[in-house]
Amino acid sequence: MAEVFIGVDVGTGSARAGIFTADGALLATAKRTVEIWREPGEIVEQSSEQIWQAVCASVKEALGQSGVEASSVAGIGFDATCSLVVLDPEGQPLAVGPSNDPARNVMVWMDHRAAREADEINATGHPVLRYVGGRISPEMETPKLLWLKRNRPDGFASAGYFFDLADYLTFRATGSLSRSACTVTCKWTYLAHERRWDPDYFRRIGLEELADEDFRRIGTDIVEPGSALGTGLTGEAGHALGLPVGTAVGAALIDAHAGGVGTLGSAIEGQAAEVESRLAYIFGTSACSMASTREPAYVDGVWGPYYDAMIPGLWLNEGGQSAAGAAIDHLVTLHPAAPKARRKAEGDGLGLTAWLERRAREAATGSDVVSLARGLHVVPEFLGNRSPFAEPDARAVIAGLGLDDGMESLVSLYVAGLCGVGYGLRQLLDRFAENGVSITTIVASGGAAQSDLVRQVLADTTGVAVAIANAEEPVLLGSAMLAAAAGGHEGSVASAMTAMSAPARLYTPAGGETATRHDARYAAFEKLQAAAREIRNAQAAR
């Protein structure tokens, strides 16, 4: 049988595997859930061992469903959330929190326990911060490492390895200690364009141990995404995954970046396939917005510019929000009609937001859906503003909500929340444009972007065309493209994107009265956001 490639995606709550042909057709998928532990103090943890077992079970099931022989698998690629994994020198898990449970050895990306450490790092004004938009985030790894050193000094000192989750997966698969330029550049402050860590940065922020040991615990061999690692799958990993020993393994990507790779190469009618004019927008629990450029673009409040971080040879700027789909889910539960609506949704076999979307489509067609928002305005920053303001302490604002407790009011709140997500994206695109990054098409993917209504709202709120690749699982496809590059079927990640991408469908923004209405709502969004910032600053000054 012809060669096939496996893509593995570890998201916040699950591990998934997909089997793909050489032209990007999906043959089968499988999924396993992953447990999350939450504690006071914005602590969010997982287990690397449980994640690995979920990966192995998903790969075996997907392979079985596909009917493909394991010997036909020519490569496997991984992506994962940008979570911190801590292991001892023997590769065994170490506890990272007050539970003292070594099984809980992953600080999840959304864990904000290191907010104080991030503020202190930002106060140094170190030149390295120029490559994270001027401000580091508590979601990144150096603030978390500093928290560990201060709060769990014995564990920090005894740790043998600190991995980004994606690199942990390739380590578990191959035994290779190589790190992907994607993970260490985007989340650890590696300067990929200079091929080095900056020891002065680590000494300045209080992590001098890592510099003194020549960065042995965080990575000394940094490679491009899709690079073949080690000698492929080890015997132990091959047995666990149900794949032949030596199967090629590609250097990994962060999950959102895999979505970018899996979608940006799509053919769009009437457009040249130039990734520099396209924004990869991965709309799921969180939202990631990624723009690629030939030359570095420095955009305040936007992570990057990162070299070699998504598409080898290009610079990357990464914006987004920590809560996007999750913000909409939370928003609608605040309404008094939510319990009744949820019961109706369950009766129809739908989730609450999917049911509200159907109600909205029944009440208005196409771009007219904005009329359902009426006088409601939402700034959905429930978990801060990641970009373009880099304000992790920002919180949501809801204006115009009355005493109406009916279903129509709930639908209005849902639509207003979607518009708020779109206006946040528009704000980012405006900031990009001010800094010479011109985006003509948003290429959207992710679980929250799987409806015509959401796609049209994104186009209308931003005023930019939205393309949706006709790929069932674009994030998994992106990881499979890494596998194709590592296995030698494609000469590079870029060529794999061309060969394996699906064509895209385009949603164009409405003009006329609809555009005018969105302009007015966008102005209101910015006023509410600014007012909330002014109030926060005044309270902080007391």
Dump pLDDT digits (tens) for 150-170: 999 999 999 999 999 999 999
Report the number of distinct structural domains present in the chain.
Answer: 2
Let me know whether 192 and 314 are in one domain: no
Q: Is residue 118 predicted with pLDDT exceeding 80? A: yes
Task: Assess if residue 512 is contained within a domain.
Answer: no
Buried b or exposed e, range 460-476, using 16+ CB within 10 angstroms: bbbbbbbbbbebebbbb
Buried b or exposed e, range 214-237, using 16+ CB within 10 angstroms: ebebbbeebbbbbbbbbebbbeeb
The answer to whether 106 touches 84, Cβ cutoff 8 Å, is: yes
From 462, 453, 465, select the one nearest 504 (Cα to Cα). Answer: 465
Question: Which amino acid, one-letter code, is at 463?
Answer: G
Buried b or exposed e, range 524-540, using 16+ CB within 10 angstroms: bbeebbeebeeeeeeee
Burial class (CB in 10 A: 0-12, 13-18, 19+), 490: buried
Helix and strand element counts for the chain (H, E): 18, 21
Task: Assess if residue 455 is contained within a domain.
Answer: yes
pLDDT band at residue 442, thresholds of 50, 70 and 90?
very high
Task: Assess if residue 44 is contained within a domain.
Answer: yes
The answer to whether 112 touches 287, Cβ cutoff 8 Å, is: no
Let me know whether 158 and 282 are in one domain: no
Question: Tokens at residue 192, please?
Answer: 């990929």
Task: Assess if residue 385 is contained within a domain.
Answer: no
Dump the DSSP string for 218-276: T-S-EE-TT-B-BTBS-HHHHHHHT--TT--EEEEEEHHHHHHHHHTT---TTS---GG
Could you tell me which residues come within 8 angstroms of residue 323 by beta carbon, excluding any fewer than 6 positions away?
285, 286, 330, 380, 381, 382, 383, 384
Tell me how far apart the alpha carbons of residues 442 and 426 are, in angstroms, rounded to a whole number.
11
The answer to whether 79 touches 106, Cβ cutoff 8 Å, is: no
Dump pLDDT digits (tens) for 495-542: 999 999 988 889 999 999 999 999 999 999 999 999 999 999 998 877
Q: In which residue are the tokens 């928290």 written?
A: 147
Strand-pairing partners, residue 287, are 283, 321
Let me know whether 132 and 271 are in one domain: no
Q: What CATH number should be reported for the domain holding residue 29?
A: 3.30.420.40
Q: Where a domain ends, among 206, 230, 253?
A: 253
Question: Which amino acid, one-letter code, is at 184?
Answer: V
Let me know whether 94 and 193 are in one domain: yes
Dump pLDDT digits (tens) for 347-386: 999 999 999 999 999 999 889 999 999 999 999 999 999 9
Question: Tokens at residue 539, please?
Answer: 């309270």
For the question of whether the overall pTM of this predicted structure is more than 0.85, the answer is yes
Residue 490, domain extent: 255-321+430-507
Question: Tokens at residue 87, please?
Answer: 């292991």
Q: What is the pLDDT of residue 380?
A: 97
Q: What is the pLDDT of residue 446?
A: 82
Tell me how far apart the alpha carbons of residues 27 and 66 are, in angstroms, rounded to a whole number.
6
Q: What is the pLDDT of residue 273?
A: 64
pLDDT band at residue 77, thresholds of 50, 70 and 90?
very high
Q: What is the pLDDT of residue 200?
A: 98
Work out the mean pLDDT of the chain and round it to a whole number: 95
Neighbours of 269 (CB within 10 A): 9
Sheet with strand 287-293: strands edge to edge: 303-307, 315-321, 287-293, 278-283, 441-445, 465-469, 504-507
Q: Is residue 1 predicted with pLDDT exceeding 70? A: no
Q: What are phi and psi of 95, to 5 degrees?
A: -65, 145
Task: Assess if residue 373 is contained within a domain.
Answer: no
Tell me how far apart the alpha carbons of residues 395 and 539 are, in angstroms, rounded to a whole number.
14
Q: Where a domain ends, among 253, 274, 293?
A: 253
Average pLDDT over every residue of 208-215: 97
Most confident range, picked from 101-110, 309-318, 384-393: 101-110
Let me know whether 288 and 231 are in one domain: no
Let me know whether 315 and 455 are in one domain: yes
Please compute, for residue 439, the number of CA atoms within 13 A of its CA located in the half-sphere on the CB side.
Answer: 31
Q: In which residue are the tokens 């779109």 written?
A: 422
Task: Assess if residue 397 is contained within a domain.
Answer: no
Question: Which amino acid, one-letter code, is at 186?
Answer: C
Tell me how far apart the alpha carbons of residues 219 and 231 are, in angstroms, rounded to a whole number.
18
Let me know whether 260 and 241 are in one domain: no
The answer to whether 6 touches 17, Cβ cutoff 8 Å, is: yes
Q: Map residue 542 onto helix, strand or coil.
A: coil
Let me know whether 110 and 188 are in one domain: yes
Neighbours of 508 (CB within 10 A): 12
Q: Of the ranges 272-276, 286-290, 395-399, 533-537, which one carries the lowest mean pLDDT score? A: 272-276
From 304, 261, 281, select the one nearest 483 (Cα to Cα). Answer: 261
The answer to whether 169 touches 93, Cβ cutoff 8 Å, is: no
pLDDT band at residue 236, thresholds of 50, 70 and 90?
very high
Q: Are strands 222-223 and 377-379 parallel, antiparallel or unpaired?
A: unpaired
Let me know whether 275 and 230 are in one domain: no
Let me know whether 191 and 241 are in one domain: yes
Burial class (CB in 10 A: 0-12, 13-18, 19+), 153: exposed
Task: Assess if residue 243 is contained within a domain.
Answer: yes
pLDDT band at residue 213, thresholds of 50, 70 and 90?
very high
pLDDT band at residue 279, thresholds of 50, 70 and 90?
very high
Let me know whether 243 and 124 are in one domain: yes
The answer to whether 289 touches 428, Cβ cutoff 8 Å, is: yes
Task: Assess if residue 369 is contained within a domain.
Answer: no
Q: Where a domain ends, among 196, 218, 253?
A: 253
Q: What is the pLDDT of residue 270?
A: 65
Let me know whether 81 and 202 are in one domain: yes
From 523, 492, 422, select the one nearest 464 (Cα to Cα). Answer: 422
pLDDT band at residue 29, thresholds of 50, 70 and 90?
very high
